[in-house]
Chain A
Amino acid sequence: MEKTILDVRNLRIRYGGASTDAVRGVSFTLGRERLGIVGESGSGKSTIGRALLRLLPGATITADSLRFEDVDLLALSEKEMLKVRGRRMSMILQDPKFSLNPIRRVGDQVAETYLRHFKCSRGEAREKAIAMLEAVKIRDAERVYAQYPHEISGGMGQRVMIAMMLLADPDLVIADEPTSALDVTVRLQVLNILDGLVRDRGIGLIMISHDLNLVRNFCDRVLIMYAGRVVETLQASELDSAQHPYTQGLLAAQPRIGGSRAPLAVLDRKPEWLEEKA
Chain B
Amino acid sequence: MSFSRLRLGGAVGQLGSIIVTLLGLLVLTFFIGRMMPADPVRAIVGEDATRETYEQVYHALGLDRPVWEQFVYYMRDVLTGNFGTSIRTGQPVIQDILHVMPATIELATFAILIGACLGIPMGVFAAVNKDRWPDHAVRVFSLFGHSMPIFWTGMIALIVFYAHLDLVGGSGRMDQFYIGLVDERTGFLLIDSLRAGEMDVFWSALNHLILPATLLGYSSSAYITRMTRSFMLDQLGQEYVTTARVKGLSRGQTIWLHAFGNIRVQLVTIIALAYGSLLEGAVLIETVFAWPGFGSYLTSNLIIGDMNAVMTCVLIIGVIFIGLNLLSDILYRIFDPRTR
Determine the distance from Cα of A189 to Cα of B242 in the docked complex, in whole angstroms. 25
Q: List which B185-240 residues lie within 8 A (CB) of chain A.
A: 238-240
Q: Nearest-CB distance from B143 to chain A (Å)?
A: 26
Question: Is B45 among interface residues, defined by CB-CB distance under 8 A?
Answer: no
Q: Which of A98, A102, A165 sits near B246, CB closer than 8 Å?
A: A165
Cross-chain contact A117 with B248 (CB below 8 angstroms): yes
Cross-chain contact A116 with B248 (CB below 8 angstroms): yes
- Given the complex, which residues of B lie within 8 Å of A101, measured CB to CB? 240, 243-244, 258, 261-262
Q: Pick the most buried of B240, B242, B250, B261: most chain A CB atoms within 10 A of its CB.
A: B240
Question: Is A201 among interface residues, defined by CB-CB distance under 8 A?
Answer: no
Q: List which B42-81 residues lie within 8 A (CB) of chain A.
A: none
- Given the complex, which residues of B lie within 8 Å of A205, measured CB to CB? none
Determine the distance from Cα of A50 to Cα of B249 in the docked complex, in whole angstroms. 15
Determine the distance from Cα of A248 to Cα of B261 in the docked complex, in whole angstroms. 49
Determine the distance from Cα of A166 to Cα of B312 in the docked complex, in whole angstroms. 64
Cross-chain contact B240 with A102 (CB below 8 angstroms): yes
Determine the distance from Cα of A94 to Cα of B239 in the docked complex, in whole angstroms. 9
Cross-chain contact A85 with B248 (CB below 8 angstroms): yes
Cross-chain contact A103 with B247 (CB below 8 angstroms): no
Q: Which residue of B lies closest to A90 (CB)?
A: B246
- Write out, one digit per residue, whether chain B residues 241-261 have a CB within 8 A of any chain A CB (1) or not (0): 011111111100000001001
- Given the complex, which residues of B lie within 8 Å of A83, measured CB to CB? 248
The number of residues on chain A lying at the interface, defined by a beta carbon within 8 Å of a beta carbon of chain B, is: 33
| Known pairs A102-B338, A148-B337; A95 contacts B239 (CB<8 A) | yes
- Given the complex, which residues of B lie within 8 Å of A84, measured CB to CB? 248
Cross-chain contact A148 with B338 (CB below 8 angstroms): yes
Q: Nearest-CB distance from B112 to chain A (Å)?
A: 24
Q: List which A74-112 residues lie within 8 A (CB) of chain B.
A: 78, 82-87, 90-91, 93-95, 98-104, 109, 112
- Given the complex, which residues of A lie within 8 Å of B246, measured CB to CB? 53, 55, 85-86, 90-91, 93, 165
Question: Is A164 among interface residues, defined by CB-CB distance under 8 A?
Answer: yes
Question: Is A247 among interface residues, defined by CB-CB distance under 8 A?
Answer: no
Cross-chain contact A85 with B261 (CB below 8 angstroms): no
Question: Is B336 among interface residues, defined by CB-CB distance under 8 A?
Answer: yes
Determine the distance from Cα of A53 to Cα of B338 in the docked complex, in whole angstroms. 31
Question: Is A187 among interface residues, defined by CB-CB distance under 8 A?
Answer: no
Cross-chain contact A116 with B247 (CB below 8 angstroms): yes
Determine the distance from Cα of A161 to Cα of B261 in the docked complex, in whole angstroms. 20
Question: Is A150 among interface residues, defined by CB-CB distance under 8 A?
Answer: yes
Q: Nearest-CB distance from A187 to chain B (Å)?
A: 19
Cross-chain contact A87 with B248 (CB below 8 angstroms): yes
| Known pairs A55-B242, A95-B239, A150-B338; A102 contacts B248 (CB<8 A) | no
Cross-chain contact A93 with B247 (CB below 8 angstroms): no
The number of residues on chain B lying at the interface, defined by a beta carbon within 8 Å of a beta carbon of chain A, is: 18
- Given the complex, which residues of B lie within 8 Å of A82, measured CB to CB? 248-250
Q: Which residue of B lies closest to A147 (CB)?
A: B337
Cross-chain contact A113 with B248 (CB below 8 angstroms): yes
| Known pairs A102-B338, A148-B338; A164 contacts B239 (CB<8 A) | no
Cross-chain contact B261 with A113 (CB below 8 angstroms): no
Determine the distance from Cα of A98 to Cα of B258 in the docked complex, in whole angstroms. 13
Q: Nearest-CB distance from B101 to chain A (Å)?
A: 36
| Known pairs A86-B247, A117-B248, A164-B247; A99 contacts B242 (CB<8 A) | yes
Determine the distance from Cα of A168 to Cα of B246 in the docked complex, in whole angstroms. 12
Q: Interface of A with B (CB < 8 Å)?
A: 50, 53, 55, 78, 82-87, 90-91, 93-95, 98-104, 109, 112-113, 116-117, 148, 150, 161, 164-165, 168
Interface CB pairs A-B, < 8 A, 29? A50-B242, A55-B246, A78-B250, A82-B248, A82-B250, A85-B245, A85-B247, A86-B246, A90-B246, A91-B246, A93-B243, A93-B246, A98-B238, A98-B239, A100-B240, A101-B243, A102-B240, A102-B337, A103-B262, A103-B338, A104-B261, A109-B243, A113-B247, A116-B247, A116-B248, A148-B337, A150-B338, A161-B243, A165-B246
List 8 tightest A-B contacts by C-beta distance, closest first.
Answer: A86-B248, A98-B239, A86-B247, A99-B239, A85-B248, A101-B240, A91-B246, A113-B247
In addition to A78-B250, A148-B338, A150-B338, 20 A-B residue pairs with Cβ atoms within 8 Å of each other are A55-B246, A82-B248, A83-B248, A86-B248, A90-B247, A91-B246, A93-B242, A93-B243, A93-B246, A95-B239, A98-B239, A98-B240, A99-B239, A99-B240, A101-B240, A102-B240, A104-B261, A112-B244, A116-B248, A148-B337
